Amino acid sequence: METNTGDDSSDPYAQATDHLLDLLVSLNPHLVADVGCGDAGVTFDVAQALPSDTILYAIDHDPTVFDPPFNEHTKVHCTVTTLVQEVNELTLPTEVDVIFSRFLLLNLPAPLAAVERMRHWVRPGGHLVLMEPITSTGRVEGHPLSVGTDEIANPDIGLRLYELLTNVGVNEPSIAAFTPVGLGESLAGRYLAAMTGVDPDPTSFVSLPTLVLAWGQVQ
Ligand SMILES: C[S@@+](CC[C@H](N)C(=O)[O-])C[C@H]1O[C@@H](n2cnc3c(N)ncnc32)[C@H](O)[C@@H]1O
């Protein structure tokens, strides 16, 4: 699932992304890592939101995500350093203040191992921040969406973020959830049509998959 974070008028998940950005800024980090950063642009939304003296490590196991236009964004405020790495072999130059990850764990057969590895590189007192979907919550007129999830390892991983953070020693994680809704011709309806190729009826009530944001302090 990818969202166009750069244009709020076409992104029903913009509120969720804004919440993520506000959270990251509020943690006032100097060193940050985005694991499974991809090329969809959230890395640069974060880089623009953080102060200019922040260092942001953008990490992905697929080197092609760093091809242009990734490195051609011009409005970036802070330093972005790219690293080609598997999350399970994550090795940063130093411990960081915050590691965040969006839409990574749903692809992984062993999400706990990945979160453990990320937790290892957060300094004591730093924060782990995860954002993932509960794919099966999507509905049109009360009927489940027929989104192909066979190739997704953990389509409902959003349900497990609290448990995963607790299992790696984050005490009482905070959680928030975002569910874009609207009729067939709304932003949510048009996003659904783009995602599935099926136009919902203009009067149908559409509820997109819920995104869960979970975060907490590493002891
Ligand atoms: C769905 S994209 C999400 C991109 C971005 N985080 C976002 O929110 O738009 C998932 C990204 O995770 C990367 N990825 C998948 N498995 C990975 C792994 N084991 N280690 C590192 N990156 C991985 C993929 O290459 C892809 O770029």
Report the pocket of ligand 1 as residue ranges, CB < 6 Å. Answer: 2, 36-38, 40, 42, 60-62, 65, 86-87, 102-104, 107-108
- Is residue 62, in this structure, part of any structural domain at all? yes
Nearest CA to ligand 1 atom 26: 38
Buried b (16+ CB within 10 A) or exposed e, 179-212: bbebebbbbbbbbbeeeeeeebeeebbbbbbbbb
What is the helix (H) or strand (E) element at residue 207, kind and residue range? strand 205-207
Buried b (16+ CB within 10 A) or exposed e, 10-40: ebbbbebbbbbbebbeebebebbbbbbbbbb
Q: What is the pLDDT along the chain (219 residues), one digit of tens a residue?
A: 433 444 456 899 999 999 999 999 999 999 999 999 999 779 999 999 999 999 999 999 999 999 887 767 666 789 999 999 999 999 999 999 999 999 999 999 999 999 999 999 999 999 999 999 999 999 999 999 866 667 899 999 999 999 999 999 999 999 999 999 999 999 999 998 988 887 889 999 999 999 999 999 999
Q: How many domains does the chain have?
A: 1
Ligand 1 mean position to 204 CA, how many Å? 33
Burial-class residue 161 by CB neighbours within 10 Å (0-12, 13-18, 19+): buried
Atom of ligand 1 nearest to the CA of 37: 6
- Is residue 147, in this structure, part of any structural domain at all? no
- Is residue 200, in this structure, part of any structural domain at all? no
Contacts of 94 (CB under 8 A, 6+ apart): 31
**3-class state of residue 166 by DSSP:** helix
- The whole-number pLDDT of residue 158 equals 98
Count of CB atoms within 10 A of residue 84's CB? 12
Structural domain of 107 = 8-135+153-178+212-217
- State pTM to two decimals: 0.93
- The whole-number pLDDT of residue 1 equals 40
Q: Which of 13, 24, 107, 131 to mutate to test the pocket of ligand 1 (most atoms within 8 A of CB)?
A: 107
Identity of the residue numbered 168: V
- The whole-number pLDDT of residue 145 equals 82
CATH number, domain containing residue 167: 3.40.50.150
CA–CA separation, 214 and 58 (whole Å): 20
Ligand 1 mean position to 60 CA, how many Å? 6
- Is residue 194, in this structure, part of any structural domain at all? no
- Is residue 199, in this structure, part of any structural domain at all? no
- Is residue 127, in this structure, part of any structural domain at all? yes
- Radius of gyration (Cα) for the chain, nearest Å? 17
- The whole-number pLDDT of residue 76 equals 75
- Is residue 89, in this structure, part of any structural domain at all? yes
- The whole-number pLDDT of residue 146 equals 67
